[in-house]
Structure 1
Amino acid sequence: MNRGQSFLLLLIGAVALLTLFVILPFVEYVIASAILAYVLYPFHVRLSRAIRRALAGRVRESVSRRLGRMLSGISLIVASIVAVILPLAYISWVFVRDLTAIARGNTDIDVAAIEAEIAALTGQTVEVGDVLATVGQSLVNTLFGGVSGVVTTALRASVGLSLALFLVYYALLDGPAFVRWIRSTSPLPQEVTADLVDRVDAMTRGVVIGHIVVALLQAVIAGVGLWAAGIPNVVFWTFVMAVLALLPLIGAFFVWGPAAAYLVVIDQTTAGVLLALYGVFVIAMVDNYARPFVIDQQAHLNPAVILLGVFGGIYSVGFTGLFVGPIAIGVLAATLETFREDYDLI
């Protein structure tokens, strides 16, 4: 390696670090936009083709192609706002509201009934309300840096979401060109690069669609059961189950199981039994049957690894870590598999 190449590599490294420093405050939104664009891209291809066919014969081919891509991107952005951003914003607002209420000691849970039942069974007096308030305050401090940080987080989130939507639009338009640039720039042999890109694509699709979507589906179904049974703070507990459901078989049970017991404790035995039956025969079945059908068979990741990625991702980059963590581990697995198959280690 000559001096010119060494200087160029040093310059690339310095500029890369500077770029990371610039985007670091919004890195979670950049990653979220990349994931959303990845999910939307197949729809973008079909929609842009449909628009081009509708414009065929009315405008020039080059114009119809450009209009098709632009109108498709705009339509998908609007659809994402209606179907994803607005519901997520509402859920986040309700989650923060309920969490801060719990941190202040205000909860709709019948604390007195639980304390009386514990005292009757154990003979010990437990201040359940104080325990809930302590846990709630710990979560507020961990997620937002305290109650005062909620407003700051909300303002930063609004700016980040606006940025993410612009990034999604341009990722949809220029994503294929970026992938071609990666293929052409990669120092690996062409066939190895193609194999690696295919493996990363399969792994990412398997993680996003397989594990995470099934976990979210299970959380929503469980949340419906909690709502029907009359459990308070349903949105809050649904959000908790969305994370726990990534742990197969018993994840969501950590919420709906105690919820059923809580209903029995406060003398709502029928509701508690029905919720328990609903959990066993409906919620649990989603995990047992939906996951094998939905998961891409090319993404062979152990569920424990997925769980580690989820919690590590959330701790590292925030809410989008729910998706980023498992994907990062999946990409690592794909890279190692490519290295094992395409290079002789002996």
Structure 2
Amino acid sequence: MKNSSLYFRSFLVMLTAATIGFIWILLPYYAALFWATALAVLFHPVQRRLQAKFHGRANLAAAVTLLIVLLIVIIPMIVITGALIQEIASVYKRIASGEFNLGVYFTQIANAMPPSVHNVLSFLGLGDLLGVQERLTQGAVAGGRFIATQAVSLGQNTAQLLIGLGVMLYVLFFLLRDGAQLARHSKQLIPLSEEHKQHFIRKFATVIRATVKGNIVVAITQGTLGGVMFWILGIQGALLWGVVMTLLSLLPAVGAALIWAPVAVYFLVTGAIVEGIVLTLFGVLVIGLIDNILRPILVGKDTKLPDWVILVSTLGGLSVFGLNGFVIGPLAAAIFMSAWDLFPSAVRLYQEDPENGSISPETATRKPTSQE
């Protein structure tokens, strides 16, 4: 009995060491593997339908699904990223040369404000508009320099990005082809009850769909519409602002309004009344309502995390994992909340298991005898 226990513990140590070593080896490509998994979950329904249409030919179905992913996800992202890098470089040059001066725009807004607004700002400790203008200008220059540096770094790491993209597509093909079999095998390895396994797997797939298919698609739609409207109104750097609105749209309680609302205010206070009204109406009635219209269509009745949880977990994910944190953060939050949701039932199952020597209420309340 002792030898059996020793062998089992030794095996657990070996298994843990092997797992940690394998994960350490895969860490340089964790982003590629993560997105391959996310895209495999997202496009699994497409793979399943194509495989049925092709009479069970899994390789052909996976190849066609991979081609669809390339056409509607990968290639558009590459094109947009290339155009965005050029846009960032152009904006940074204009900021560095003084052609684009945020302080000038701020001064125009400040001069157009009525005295009552100045009084309110003074009451709030913001009366030193010159100091605020200088800080905004310095922040814009520093932000532009940081973004430009990141864009240059992205261009210099093209080889590494291409390798990561190749790894992602290669793994994605096999996950599409063998995903169902891998899921069944992984399910057997999870040391939980069948009910808990189903709950975690369902929650994982739900959050992937809700985050990628819901949040990201909605954010891209909002950012695209905002960028197009900026271009129509003649606002320079429309592509860059569209991407920024896309990123902000991923955060609840923030959204694209953080960009288009100040621009609309600038139009209104500087006399461009028509542009200001058009942008305000478009932002409220189109960009603002996209979430309520598209999300139910894309996500359906999938469970949605509370907005405050999405906000905090997304910001935390961004700080830890970079851009991948947009998905990893909410996913970690969903798994955390699922685990605590299952905790009462896990305790109940443990107490009801006779092998654990659980004490019944009658035994617990029985008074000890003199012999005891």
**TM class, shorter-length:** 0.7 to 0.9
Aligned CA-pair RMSD: 2.8
Change (3 A) 1:244 1:321: same
Distance of 1:308 and 1:97 partners within structure 2: 32
**Counterpart position of 1:176:** 180
1:13 aligns with 2:39: no
Residues 33 and 168, structure 1, Cα contact 8 Å, conserved in 2: yes
The aligned runs of 1:1-346 (5 Å cut-off) are: 2-52=5-55, 65=56, 68-104=57-93, 105-106=95-96, 109=100, 111=102, 113-114=104-105, 116-117=107-108, 120=111, 124=130, 126-127=133-134, 129-139=137-147, 144=150, 149-248=153-252, 250-264=254-268, 268-292=272-296, 294-344=298-348
Q: Which residue of 1 aligns with 2:356?
A: none
How big is the shift at 1:40? 0.9
Task: Flag structure 2 segments of 5+ consecutive residues without an equivalent.
Answer: 113-117, 119-128, 352-372
Distance 1:179 1:290, change over 3 A: same
User: What SS does structure 2 have at the residue aligned with 1:320?
Assistant: helix
Give the C-alpha shift of residue 268 in structure 1: 3.8
1:249·1:287 contact (CA, 8 Å) conserved in 2? no
Structure 1 stretch 271-280 or stretch 149-158: which is displaced more? 149-158
Alpha carbons 2:319, 2:325 under 8 Å: kept = yes
Q: 2:42 corresponds to which letter in structure 1?
A: V
What is the Cα deviation at residue 266 of structure 1? 6.0
Deviation at 1:37, TM superposition (A): 0.9
Which structure ranks higher in relative contact order (CA pairs < 8 Å, sequence separation ≥ 6)?
1
Using the TM superposition, give the Cα deviation of residue 109 of structure 1 relative to its aligned residue in structure 2, in angstroms. Answer: 4.5
Residues 295-341 of structure 1: CA deviation (Å, up to 9, x unaligned) = 45442411121122222223322322222221221222223223334
Structure 2 CA distance, aligned partners of 1:307 and 1:216? 17
- What is the aligned residue count? 328
Q: Between 311-320 and 104-113, report the one with greater CA deviation.
A: 104-113
Aligned amino acid, residue 62 of structure 2? G
Distance 1:190 1:120 in 2: 67
Comparing 248-257 with 294-303, greater Cα deviation is found at 294-303
TM-score in terms of structure 1 length: 0.83
- Residue number in structure 2 paired with 1:60: none
The structure having more radius of gyration, on CA atoms, is 2
In structure 1, the gaps of 5 or more residues are: 53-64
CA distance in 1, matches of 2:40, 2:58: 14
Q: Percent identity?
A: 24
- Structure 1 partner of 2:364: none
- What is the CA–CA distance in structure 2 between the aligned matches of 1:301 and 1:42, rounded to whole Å? 23
- Give the deviation of 1:220 after TM superposition: 2.2
Could you tell me how far apart the structure 1 residues matched to 2:105 and 2:290 are?
30
